[in-house]
Structures are given as structure tokens and as C-alpha cells.
């Protein structure tokens, strides 16, 4: 019989469920992280001292004033509001304002996707150490139920369920001894 132990997808249903559960954990983590950053954005989390709601790049030569309009949105004013010093941008361009969501969304999304990929690959290899023994045990038990001659269950060194395989081997050995006495 050709050895098929090199395949990492042995019991696809079991391994897919295992990978899905690990991946779901990572996705929930990503959603929670992004949700918290979004909440920070909505609550005007202060990234700068003096209760500033946004991060502004600074230039010590020219002040701008940041205030909120009637709708509560931040606006840049020439005369009213708290003074801030924007980065020189040439041609008196309005400086870019950053909030926590804008700053952290892409890095958190990238790391979350990287985690999802890593956990999926890890889950495949990890579940292989469980799915392989389960497959082997099912195969031997099917042969036994079909009244075929069965061999002892042997598992690889790093596999799980060695204790289960040993217990089944002992049970099959006892059953064989009973049948030999008849």
C-alpha cells in the first residue's frame, strides 16, 4: 500500500472546521480592534496634549486655528480656535489632520490579515497531527468491523492520541486472543 502520510489534508471536514475556528478567533480579534479604533475616532480621542482631538504636523513659523463648527466637525480657521502650527506645505495648503482611526486602520488591518494567514497555515499543520491519527484509527476500526485482519495502530512521533491508539491496540489484542481460543 502506498504511503499517503505526506498529505496535510487528511480529514478535510475536521481540519477545515479546526482551521475555521482558529481563523474566526483572529477575525473576531481584528473586528474588535478595528471597532475600538473606530470608537476612539468617534469619541475624539486626544492624541495631542491640551485636549487636541487630531494630530497636526507642525511648523513653528505659522499658526493655524482649529475649532469645531455647529455640526461638531473640526474646521481650520484663520482667527478663532486653538492655535496649532502646521508643517510647511508650500502655497499655503491646508495641513492634513489625522485621527486615531486614520493612523491605525491600515497597520491593524495588515497585521490582522497577516495573523489570519499565519493561523490558517499553523492550523493546517497542527490539525494534521490530529487528523492523521483520527484517520488511521477510523481506518483500522472500519477494517475490524468489516471482519478484516487488522494491524496494530502505529502513529508518528509528534502525533496526538498515542494513548487512544494504545488503548485500542490493547482492546483489539484482547479480542483477538478471545477469538483464537474459540
Res 133 pLDDT > 70: yes
Q: Is the dihedral angle over the CA atoms 150, 155, 159, 160 positive or is it negative?
A: positive
Range picked from 41-50, 51-60, 136-145 for highest mean pLDDT: 136-145
High-pLDDT (> 90) share of the chain, %: 16
How many C-alpha atoms does 14 have within 13 Å on its Cβ side? 15
Give the span between the Cα atoms of 103 and 14, in whole angstroms.
Answer: 39
Res 124 pLDDT > 70: yes
Q: What is the pTM of this model?
A: 0.50
> What are the φ and ψ backbone dihedral angles of 67, each rounded to 5 degrees?
-140, 180
Give the span between the Cα atoms of 130 and 133, in whole angstroms.
Answer: 6
Return the pLDDT at 16. Answer: 85
Range picked from 49-53, 137-141, 159-163, 176-180 for highest mean pLDDT: 137-141
Residues 6-25 have a mean pLDDT of 80
Res 165 pLDDT > 60: yes
76: number of Cβ within 10 Å: 15
Yes or no: say if 54 and 98 are a contact pair by the CB < 8 Å rule.
yes
Give the span between the Cα atoms of 83 and 35, in whole angstroms.
Answer: 31
Give the list of residues 6+ apart from residue 124 with CB closer than 8 angstroms, or none. 8, 9, 15, 19
CA 50 to chain centre: 37
Return the pLDDT at 56. Answer: 53
Return the pLDDT at 100. Answer: 65
Confidence band (pLDDT; 50, 70, 90) for 134? Answer: very high
CA 133 to chain centre: 26
Amino acid at each position: 500500500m502506498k504511503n499517503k502520510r505526506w498529505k496535510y489534508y487528511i480529514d478535510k471536514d475536521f481540519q477545515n472546521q479546526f482551521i475555521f475556528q482558529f481563523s474566526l478567533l483572529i477575525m473576531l480579534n481584528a473586528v474588535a480592534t478595528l471597532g475600538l479604533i473606530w470608537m476612539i475616532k468617534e469619541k475624539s480621542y486626544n492624541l495631542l496634549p491640551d485636549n487636541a482631538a487630531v494630530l497636526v504636523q507642525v511648523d513653528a513659523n505659522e499658526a493655524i486655528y482649529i475649532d469645531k463648527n455647529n455640526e461638531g466637525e473640526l474646521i481650520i480657521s484663520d482667527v478663532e480656535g486653538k492655535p496649532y502650527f502646521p508643517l510647511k506645505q508650500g502655497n499655503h495648503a491646508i495641513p492634513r489632520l489625522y485621527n486615531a482611526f486614520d493612523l491605525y486602520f491600515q497597520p491593524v488591518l495588515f497585521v490582522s490579515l497577516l495573523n489570519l494567514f499565519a493561523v490558517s497555515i499553523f492550523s493546517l499543520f497542527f490539525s494534521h497531527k490530529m487528523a492523521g491519527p483520527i484517520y488511521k484509527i477510523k481506518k483500522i476500526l472500519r477494517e475490524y468491523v468489516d471482519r478484516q485482519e487488522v494491524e496494530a495502530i502505529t502513529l508518528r512521533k509528534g502525533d496526538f492520541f498515542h494513548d487512544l491508539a494504545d488503548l485500542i491496540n490493547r482492546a483489539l489484542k484482547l479480542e483477538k486472543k478471545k477469538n483464537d481460543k474459540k
